[in-house]
Each structure stands twice: as C-alpha cells, then as structure tokens.
Amino acid sequence: MTIPRLFEPGRNLRPGSSFIPENEVLHYLRRVLRLKPGDPVLLLDGGSVAWRAVLTGSDSGLGLEVERVEEGVRVAPDGRRITALVPMLKVDRHEIAIQKATELGATSLFLYFADRSIPRPGARENARLDRYRKVAEEACRQCDRASLPALTMYDSLQSAVAALPEDGSRYLLSEIGVVEPLVRLAVSPGPVTLAVGPEGSFTDTERAMLLAAGFVPAGLGPRVLKAETAVIAAVMAVQVAGGDMG
C-alpha cells in the first residue's frame, strides 16, 4: 500500500517529535483515508527528505509521532522561485492551470480577477481558495513535490501586482507585436514573475499598468493560446530556460 503524504510546512520535524494535526487533516486521515492508530504516513515540510511518522492515540484523539527519515522516497525540492499571475477562469479551466503549474514547479500563484474575467468577485472567494489549495496539494502528492505553492487571491490585477515581491525578472505574456520568446529571456538566474491574461487578453489599462510596473513583453510562440494553456506553457518555458527540465 502506498503510504499517504501530508504537508506540514514549518514543523520542526525530528525523530521522536510529535504533534496533533489540524482538524481538517485529522478528518482526512480518519474519514477519507480511514487510517487507524499505528498506521504510517509520510510528512513533508519543504525540505529535501520525507519523514516517516505513525498515528498515535485513539480514533477520537489522533496524533502523529515522527519515527525517522524515510529512505528511498523521491522528494522533488523547489528550485527557481516562479510566481505566476493567473486570471480567474471558469472553474474547471482554472483548476487545470493550478494543477499543472504546481506540477511544473511554480512556487507562488497569485489568482486575480481581470477586467475581462468571466467569474466576478463575490462571497465565495474563501471557498474557491480552499478548493484551489486542495487541487494544488493533490498535484504535489502526484509529482512528489516537497512543498505546496503559495496561493493567494486578489480582486484585481492591480492589487495582485502591488503585492508582488520586488526582486527578480517580470514578464508579460503577450501575443501582440513582435516580442522575444520567453524561453530566451528567462535564461538569467533568479526569481521570475509571469503575468498571464484572461480570455480576450489584458485590457489596454491593465497592459499599461504592467509595463509601468516593470514587466517585459515576452512570447510563447506564433499561436494564440487559451489562458490556462498559457499559464502551463509559461511556467514550462521558464523551467526549460533555467535547466530544470533537463
């Protein structure tokens, strides 16, 4: 049986240490996986190793106790810091973008409502974000990734850009005019931020704001891509340029 993986970033994991997971994690262990005291799990804290732990206590009060580093477990550490500005799309398409960007190693996903996004801000943002984080977590388990990407949501492109880290290179994915391919521009080491537009692309106001914020237009080839495809292609282009896919 495959040992389930749990993500516990920031924990000081070491042999003999123990802790009580959050209620949502306990529900997942008890009700979804139907694990019992004595069953093993693997813990990932963002480092380069997986820790073997066992469930302790009773069904009504489970905890986790770390036993040792689990040898022979593939753990893919994060490499280059890649932040992607991902426009809000229809639910299934948005989840595809998050899933694949996570598998490809994006470290931060800034989800934003573009001027032309079909979904609009409303009362369901917290539920949406919880769902998207679960999508990213499942993607991390599938690809043996060591840590979860940071997911945040913003009510506009402007507010997302205002929250970005100031270091690194910034690229605006553009299908307008003759632009240098992203795979050639992103060869320099260091953090990268990618701005991807929604269906119908950025408005003129959004494009001007991005250029004023230091984003350099970059291309993904001669074809016009759907937004979710552009997110995937952009993250992959950066990884190829930096040697991660080699």
For 92-121, the pLDDT digits (tens) are 888 999 999 999 999 999 999 999 888 777
> How confident is the model at residue 228, as a pLDDT?
95
Question: Which domain, by its residues, includes 23?
Answer: 5-69
| In contact, 68 and 15? CB cutoff 8 Å | yes
Mean pLDDT of 216-238: 94
Q: Distance between CA atoms of 129 and 146, rounded to whole angstroms?
A: 21
Q: Distance between CA atoms of 44 and 57, rounded to whole angstroms?
A: 21
Tell me, yes or no, whether 107 and 40 share the same domain: no
Tell me, yes or no, whether 125 and 49 share the same domain: no
> How confident is the model at residue 151, as a pLDDT?
95
> How confident is the model at residue 8, as a pLDDT?
87
| In contact, 200 and 246? CB cutoff 8 Å | no
> How confident is the model at residue 178, as a pLDDT?
74
Percent of the chain with pLDDT over 90: 55
Question: What is the pTM for the complete model shown?
Answer: 0.86
Q: Indicate if the pLDDT at residue 221 is higher than 80.
A: yes
Tell me, yes or no, whether 19 and 100 share the same domain: no
Q: Indicate if the pLDDT at residue 222 is higher than 80.
A: yes
Tell me, yes or no, whether 103 and 125 share the same domain: yes
Tell me, yes or no, whether 18 and 137 share the same domain: no
Tell me, yes or no, whether 111 and 221 share the same domain: yes
Q: Indicate if the pLDDT at residue 233 is higher than 90.
A: yes
For 153, half-sphere exposure in the C-beta direction (CA atoms, 13 angstrom radius) is 21
What CATH number did the domain enclosing 44 receive? 2.40.240.20
Number of domains in the chain: 2
Q: Indicate if the pLDDT at residue 200 is higher than 80.
A: yes
pLDDT band at 1 (very low <50, low <70, confident <90, very high): low
pLDDT tens digits for 10-37? 788 899 989 988 888 888 888 888 888 9
Domain membership of residue 222 (yes or no) is yes
Q: What is the side-by-side order of every strand in the sheet holding 5-7?
A: 5-7, 40-44, 51-58, 61-69, 18-19
Nearest to 183 by CA among 117, 238, 246, 133: 238
Tell me, yes or no, whether 17 and 105 share the same domain: no
Domain membership of residue 195 (yes or no) is yes
Return the structure tokens found at 73.
Answer: 């477990």
pLDDT band at 219 (very low <50, low <70, confident <90, very high): very high
Domain membership of residue 125 (yes or no) is yes
Tell me, yes or no, whether 63 and 94 share the same domain: no
> How confident is the model at residue 102, as a pLDDT?
96
